[in-house]
Amino acid sequence: MASPNKPKDKDIKVTFEDQQKINKFARNNARLQDYKEEVKNKKKELQNVEDAENDLLMREDDTEPVPYQIGEVFVSFTTDGVGEMLEKAKATLEEEIKTIENQAEFHKKILQDLKVELYAKFGNEINLEAEDDS
pLDDT tens digits along 108-120: 999 999 999 999 9
CA dihedral of 72, 78, 84, 88, whole degrees rounded to 10: 0
| Domain housing 33 | 22-125
In a domain, 57, yes or no: yes
Identify the residue with better confidence: 59 or 4.
59
Name the domain count of the chain: 1
In a domain, 70, yes or no: yes
In a domain, 78, yes or no: yes
- Residue 10: is its pLDDT beyond 70? no
CA dihedral of 98, 99, 104, 109, whole degrees rounded to 10: 100
pLDDT tens digits along 52-82: 999 998 888 878 899 988 889 999 999 999 9
Please, what is the average pLDDT of the chain?
Answer: 88
pLDDT interval class at 25 (50, 70, 90): very high
Helix then strand count (H, E) for the chain reads 2, 2
In a domain, 64, yes or no: yes
Q: What angle do CA 53, 58, 63 make, to 5 degrees?
A: 95
Contact 22, 111 (CB under 8 A): no
Mean predicted confidence (pLDDT) in 43-50: 96
pTM of model > 0.85? no
CATH, residue 110? 1.10.287.370
Q: Give the pLDDT of residue 132.
A: 55
Q: Give the pLDDT of residue 127.
A: 86
- Residue 2: is its pLDDT beyond 50? no
